Structure 1
Amino acid sequence: MASITRRGPFQFQAIVRRKGYPTQTKTFETRNEAEAWSRSIESKIDVNQFRDRRELEMLTLGDLLQRYLKEVTPTKRGAVQEGNRIKQLLEHPLALRPLSTLRASDFASYRNERLENHRANTVRLELALLSHLYTIAIREWSLPLEHELKKVSRPKADPGRERRLQPGELARLLAAIKQQDGSAGPALTACIELALETGMRAGELLSLEWCQVDLASAVLYLDMTKNGTSRLVPLSEKAEQVLASLPRNGRRVFPNFYDTSGLDRVFKRACNVAGIEGLHFHDLRHESASQRAPHVTPQTLAKLYGWKSLQMAMRYYNPLLSELHAAIGRTSPLTPY
């Protein structure tokens, strides 16, 4: 039976003692609140549903993020990117809050705050990370949490990019790279040419090793891709020539770039020199897919680019108006890039 003790004006301390369970204590402003809480605790004990939540008062969201960063993040292919998201979250005041105080409304406020200065997809990825953190904490770390993130709406995904190379942009970009000093120039040129010929992602290019390159059979063997499967990348004659021209200094084909962020920075700098705006390295994958799409079936296109659904093939196929004119038999010339 719970005991209720009046400890002063508007202070009623409820104590629940039950053999085999830790003593539960909480103070309320009214006796009715204290009694209601006591009955709730006792009823949960009676049906073996009681969970001691005091542990949540000693742990902060930052503590959980640190553990997740150490135990879970290293097992993921996108460990570097997720690590950066966690570091950003650790700098937010929310990370200092005890887990016992966090509610869905706190995460909704965080979402709204971030949306003021960041893209919807960035915020979606952060909420997805927090949601998985809660899932792991509940299922594997046995913390008595409620999954507050399941109650928070996520922003709608950003519309897919449709940026294509415009006439003359590729020539200007390659010329700008040649003008720049540094050893990364030839490697950047090779990455651009291979991205256009094969449609490979930046991460796939930078993780590529020479043991995966078979020039005799004109194919690359990708052991693990973004969607979790391996795939073969057939090489065009130009792609084969690009790879054959590269020096074999070490295990990796492109040792010049540590990660995709480094490649993106060098690519952006070359675009600035060339006077090209709004072009990202990943847009080259769209360009490659859009060039291939009119000549193969959607199923073949999905196989070539490693997509699990035909919906992704439609997302990456961004035809130019001149290409659509050609598709209906109009005789206007195609716009080359």
Structure 2
Amino acid sequence: MATLRKRNGRWQVQVRRQGFPVQSHSFLSKADANEWARTIERQQDRHELGPNRKALKSMTLAALVVRYRDEVVPKKKGSAVETILLNRFLRYPICQRTLYELTTADFAAYRDQRLSEPKHRSDRPVAPKSLKRELSPLSHMFRHAVVEWEIPVRNPLDGLKLKVTDNKRERRLHAGELERLLAATKKGKNKLVAPIILFALETAMRRGEMLSVQLRHIDFERSSVVIPESKSGYSRVIPLTARAVAILEALRPEDAKPTDLAFPITPVALRLQWDRLTNRAGIDDLNFHDLRHEGISRLFELGLTVPEVASISGHRTLAQLMRYSHANHEAVRAKLIGERHPQTLIV
């Protein structure tokens, strides 16, 4: 920020910005002083002037991550999960490097290390797509540091190569899997897991949307629930089936307050419960988000149109919606057989 003052008939200007050395000059006219200050600030914005090496040498990557975690992440929707990711990242040696010496090569080494590590509960290595999601908060952190905190650090992730194959999941519940999941919930201590699973299938709602629903958002008379703000940033009203309403009514306490949660469980707790549940049920490669796939596909199989399904699922484009809609192949095959003409066509 530029500071001007007139002294001994001359205008003295000083530009101070965190991470850059202090710049000062004196001019006969105030206009010249202002123009010089704007020039220096533009050069700093474009990083044409070298950063203050002393400032960058005194700050480690760990210090930047901690500040971002404590000041910025709590204001974000996915704060709980993002905090876990950042806390895990802080355990790696790369965090001990200073911002001045940090390079893309450091993150390339970190990338290779993470991709060779086995995932929790599996011998498979971490997938590139999963690692990309882990690096996303760090990339935003560097941009935030430059814009909001005026720390002139270069984003070392800009040049990092990470080949990601967009393998669209088509995982739906196989025959008997829902029954096995529900049976396994009876052996667990948390009694909310089974109702949440059934509610997810009935509404095709996202996990975060379900866990943020308060009783004041539910209209039991009209069988609907309001999502004040979804992942896309828009609100929507979801019609509820009789089974979905019954689930909510069964969980509603007699002395409930309007601001009470319909499903009082945290996202992290539900994720841990899901991992234990699928292990107990002996089901592999089934994510909780696959229940949304299953729910949307069932809506199509009931005969709902694309606009009707989109109004429930919250998707804004057809391309987004079709990623989640996977018809039951047995049902499609049965329709094709039923539509087939009984007589042989002669060409």
| Pairwise TM-score range, normalised by the shorter structure | 0.7 to 0.9
Task: Report the alpha carbon displacement of residue 253 of structure 1 after superposing the two structures with TM.
Answer: 1.2
Task: Report the alpha carbon displacement of residue 279 of structure 1 after superposing the two structures with TM.
Answer: 2.3
The question of 1:169 aligning with 2:174 is answered: no
The question of 1:234 aligning with 2:239 is answered: yes
Task: Report the alpha carbon displacement of residue 157 of structure 1 after superposing the two structures with TM.
Answer: 4.8
- Counterparts in 2 of 1:247 and 1:23: CA distance versus 1, 3 Å: closer
Structure 1 moving runs of 4+ over 6 Å:
none
Partners of 2:294 and 2:21 lie apart in 1 by 63
User: Going by fraction, where is helix more abundant, 1 or 2?
Assistant: 1
- Counterparts in 2 of 1:158 and 1:265: CA distance versus 1, 3 Å: farther
Partners of 1:96 and 1:120 lie apart in 2 by 24
| AA partner of residue 309 (structure 2) | L
Partners of 1:72 and 1:98 lie apart in 2 by 21
Give SS of 1:170's match.
helix
Residue by residue, what CA displacement relative to the aligned partner does 1:33-68 show, whole Å, maximum 9, x if unpaired?
xxxxxxxxxxx99x7742423211111111111111
The question of 1:316 aligning with 2:321 is answered: no
Partners of 1:175 and 1:212 lie apart in 2 by 30
| AA partner of residue 295 (structure 2) | S
Q: Contact between 1:123 and 1:155, CA under 8 Å: does it hold in 2?
A: no
Give SS of 1:101's match.
coil
| AA partner of residue 203 (structure 1) | G
Aligned to 1:72: 72
Aligned to 2:208: 203
* Unaligned ranges ≥5, structure 2: 1-13, 24-39, 118-125, 341-347
What does residue range 98-247 of structure 1 map to in structure 2 within 5 Å? 98-117=98-117, 118-178=126-186, 180=187, 182=189, 184-185=190-191, 187-247=192-252
Partners of 1:67 and 1:238 lie apart in 2 by 46
Aligned to 2:267: 260
Give SS of 2:157's match.
helix
Task: Report the alpha carbon displacement of residue 23 of structure 1 after superposing the two structures with TM.
Answer: 9.2
Partners of 2:196 and 2:131 lie apart in 1 by 29
Query: When the two structures are superposed, what TM-score results if normalisation uses the length of structure 1?
Result: 0.78
What is the aligned length? Answer: 289
- Counterparts in 2 of 1:236 and 1:52: CA distance versus 1, 3 Å: same
Residue by residue, what CA displacement relative to the aligned partner does 1:206-232 show, whole Å, maximum 9, x if unpaired?
221111111111110111222222221
Report the more deviating stretch, 123-132 or 214-223.
Answer: 123-132
The alignment yields a C-alpha RMSD, in angstroms, of 2.6
The question of 1:296 aligning with 2:322 is answered: no
Q: Contact between 1:199 and 1:286, CA under 8 Å: does it hold in 2?
A: yes
Aligned to 1:282: 289
Task: Report the alpha carbon displacement of residue 280 of structure 1 after superposing the two structures with TM.
Answer: 2.4
Task: Report the alpha carbon displacement of residue 83 of structure 1 after superposing the two structures with TM.
Answer: 0.6
Aligned to 1:6: none
- Counterparts in 2 of 1:92 and 1:270: CA distance versus 1, 3 Å: closer
| AA partner of residue 304 (structure 2) | V
Residue by residue, what CA displacement relative to the aligned partner does 1:123-144 show, whole Å, maximum 9, x if unpaired?
1022222211111111111112
Residue by residue, what CA displacement relative to the aligned partner does 1:243-277 show, whole Å, maximum 9, x if unpaired?
1222325511122x2x2232233233333333333
Query: When the two structures are superposed, what TM-score results if normalisation uses the length of structure 2?
Result: 0.76
* Unaligned ranges ≥5, structure 1: 1-18, 25-43, 333-337
Report the more deviating stretch, 100-109 or 153-162.
Answer: 153-162
Q: Contact between 1:164 and 1:287, CA under 8 Å: does it hold in 2?
A: yes
Give SS of 2:276's match.
helix
Task: Report the alpha carbon displacement of residue 331 of structure 1 after superposing the two structures with TM.
Answer: 7.1
Task: Report the alpha carbon displacement of residue 290 of structure 1 after superposing the two structures with TM.
Answer: 0.9
Aligned to 1:28: none
Partners of 1:293 and 1:172 lie apart in 2 by 25
Task: Report the alpha carbon displacement of residue 324 of structure 1 after superposing the two structures with TM.
Answer: 2.6
What does residue range 25-40 of structure 1 map to in structure 2 within 5 Å? none
Q: Contact between 2:81 and 2:268, CA under 8 Å: does it hold in 1?
A: no
Partners of 1:158 and 1:275 lie apart in 2 by 27
Partners of 1:270 and 1:61 lie apart in 2 by 37
Q: Contact between 1:302 and 1:313, CA under 8 Å: does it hold in 2?
A: yes
Q: Contact between 1:218 and 1:234, CA under 8 Å: does it hold in 2?
A: yes
Aligned to 2:345: none
Partners of 2:221 and 2:154 lie apart in 1 by 57
Partners of 2:143 and 2:270 lie apart in 1 by 34
Partners of 2:85 and 2:278 lie apart in 1 by 27
Partners of 2:22 and 2:250 lie apart in 1 by 73
- Counterparts in 2 of 1:279 and 1:144: CA distance versus 1, 3 Å: closer
